[in-house]
């Protein structure tokens, strides 16, 4: 973040973090402009849709109850439906009309109906992992799941959005959680990461899930741990939201957002949310661990300065280097700033929250793959002529790197870039030219950006008062070039009631093709995916 880009007079976005009703039966939308008839399938979106039960409310944006959204596109028409995920957390809370299950930033207080002794005892229980899978839609073995960052996922029907079965990673594999951002190979093999906590302290685990089912009932059968990595500090492992993958490597980014396990274990006793145990330690390096997908072996460790990362853009190998592209910030306190009370502020208080937060910017690290005992120290190992990134070997198995920016000066004006997306099916793990994301001149995305890596030029879609969600790229059926296709984004506005719309942009020209207006309120959500009609 640059001090010169302080903003004043931000409009209130409180209506975008308010509870809404579900719309379980599909409703028609009004299409303005044109939606290409070749788009056949559904944009599925996930995010929080209920922020209180009775007179108890959640503290953190990540805590709201998962609401699943479907924009079904066929023959140039769009229908919309939404459902709350029927998680155990949602059911228990609804039954008692109070918060019964603790979330990331909210601790469920002991039931006042219990006697004093039982209330006292319940303080000593561990906070149970929530099954409120509100982050993303993901696929394993061809099935659709919704996921969060605990050990629980739900299989859902992408057509009706009905909740099917609950799936517990711990029943299949020795991990206590998994991220909501797996990576998938063209054959359907899926990689993920999850922590395990045992007698020997915490471990980071890289997980591999096979592509095929042996019978229709299967979920995660056959999953295995490819490799376990020991944290720099076993009592304070790093928090991670995702990881990167190239053709031959999984890249785990151990960042200085730390989880104090003692604080987390005692959170309920102290009446605090798990979030109280998550903190930023800028004195620590960020470390990239490269794991060979074929052997599970960990390569040389790459170090860089303290950075925080939520989402990677892409990673690929070329000429003996691994290009690691991601959205990073120079400060990792953002996770604790997304309290609902901050998102609902207005006036100067809102400006102050925004102006004290650091922005995320797209950056590239160039990691040399053939570092050996004979590799000289003190020489920049990045020999790619067009790249300003550096890599210096400093010890036997340590290389220190410095990134290059994947953007020009103009991106500072748009508040940086987050929620990055690419033409994933064709260009994930491969050299690529374009990526898309949201610009952040507010606490949530307020513009849609396209960056061309040739020249680092940016194209912008922005309309005052409108807040677009993560852009999802859908390739056109006869695509020749990387950006042949459309961008889908759900756009919400805090100033008008029931005026949400699905925006369709031409990904090449960045011009609006059409929009489908939905007469309902939708809160600002997290992640989505396009599910083509079979």
Separation of alpha carbons 39 and 338, rounded Å: 35
What 3-state class would DSSP assign to 42? strand
Tell how far CA 174 is from the center of its chain: 23
**Helix, strand, or coil here: 119?**
helix
Annotated binding-site residue? 181: yes
Whether 336 and 275 have beta carbons less than 8 Å apart is answered as yes
If one counts every other C-beta atom within 10 angstroms of the C-beta of residue 445, the result is: 24
User: Residue 438: which residues within 8 A CB-CB, separation 6 or more?
Assistant: 417, 418, 419, 444, 445, 446, 447, 448, 449, 468, 469, 470, 471
Q: Which residues contact 483 (CB under 8 A, 6 or more apart)?
A: 423, 433, 434, 450, 507, 508
Please give the structure tokens belonging to residue 439.
């610009």
Q: Cβ neighbours of residue 38 under 8 Å, at least 6 residues apart?
A: 476, 477
Q: For the residues of 54-77, what is the DSSP string, one character each?
A: TTEE-SBGGGSEEEEEEEEEETTE
User: Would the annotation count 527 as a binding residue?
Assistant: yes
- How many angstroms separate the Cα of 527 from the Cα of each of 47, 68, 137? 7, 10, 7
Q: Which residue positions form the known binding site?
A: 181, 241, 311, 527
Q: Which residue positions form the known binding site for Fe cation?
A: 181, 241, 311, 527
């Amino acid at each position: 973040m640059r001090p010169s880009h302080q903003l004043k007079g931000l409009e209130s976005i409180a209506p975008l973090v308010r509870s809404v009703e579900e719309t379980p039966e599909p409703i028609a939308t009004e299409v303005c402009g044109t939606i290409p008839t070749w788009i056949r399938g559904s944009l599925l979106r996930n995010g929080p849709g209920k922020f209180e039960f009775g007179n108890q409310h959640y503290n953190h944006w990540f805590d709201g109850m998962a609401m699943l959204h479907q924009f079904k596109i066929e023959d140039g028409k769009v229908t919309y439906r939404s459902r709350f995920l029927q998680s155990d957390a949602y059911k228990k809370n609804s039954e008692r009309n109070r918060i019964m299950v603790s979330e990331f930033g909210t601790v469920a207080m002991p039931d006042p109906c219990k006697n004093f002794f039982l209330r006292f005892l319940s303080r000593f229980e561990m906070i149970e992992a929530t099954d409120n899978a509100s982050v993303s839609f993901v696929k394993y073995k061809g099935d659709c799941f919704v996921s969060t960052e605990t050990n629980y996922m739900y299989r859902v029907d992408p057509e009706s959005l009905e909740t099917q079965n609950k799936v517990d990673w711990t029943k299949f594999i020795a991990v206590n959680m998994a991220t909501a951002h797996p990576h998938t190979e063209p054959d359907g093999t899926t990689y993920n990461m999850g922590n395990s906590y045992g007698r020997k302290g915490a471990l980071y685990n890289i997980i591999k899930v096979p592509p095929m089912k042996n019978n229709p009932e299967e979920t995660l059968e056959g999953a295995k741990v490819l490799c376990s990595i020991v944290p720099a500090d076993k009592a304070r492992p790093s928090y991670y939201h995702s990881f990167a993958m190239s053709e031959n490597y999984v890249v785990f980014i151990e960042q200085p957002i730390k989880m104090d396990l003692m604080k987390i274990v005692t959170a309920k006793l102290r009446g605090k949310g798990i979030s109280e145990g998550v903190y930023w330690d800028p004195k620590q390096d960020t470390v990239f661990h490269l794991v060979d997908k074929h052997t599970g072996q960990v390569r040389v460790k790459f170090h860089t300065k303290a950075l925080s990362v939520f989402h990677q853009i892409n990673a690929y190998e070329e000429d003996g280097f691994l290009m690691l592209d991601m959205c990073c910030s120079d400060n990792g306190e953002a996770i604790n700033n997304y309290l609902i009370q901050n998102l609902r502020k207005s006036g100067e208080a809102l400006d102050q929250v925004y102006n004290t937060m650091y922005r995320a910017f797209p950056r590239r690290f160039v990691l040399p793959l053939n570092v050996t005992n004979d590799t000289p120290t003190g020489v920049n190992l990045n020999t790619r002529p067009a790249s300003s990134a550096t890599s210096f070997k400093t010890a036997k198995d340590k290389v220190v790197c410095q990134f290059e920016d994947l953007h020009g000066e103009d991106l500072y004006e748009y508040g940086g870039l987050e929620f990055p997306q690419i033409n994933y099916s064709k260009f994930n793990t491969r050299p690529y030219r374009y990526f898309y994301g949201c610009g952040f001149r507010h606490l949530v995305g307020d513009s849609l950006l396209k960056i061309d890596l040739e020249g680092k030029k940016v194209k912008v879609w922005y309309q005052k008062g409108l807040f677009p969600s993560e852009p999802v790229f859908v390739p056109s059926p006869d695509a020749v070039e990387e950006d042949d296709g459309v961008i889908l984004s759900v756009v919400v506005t805090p100033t008008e009631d029931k005026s949400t719309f699905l925006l369709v942009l031409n990904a090449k020209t960045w011009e609006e093709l059409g929009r489908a207006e939905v007469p309902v309120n939708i809160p600002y959500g997290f992640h989505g995916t396009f599910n083509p009609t079979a």
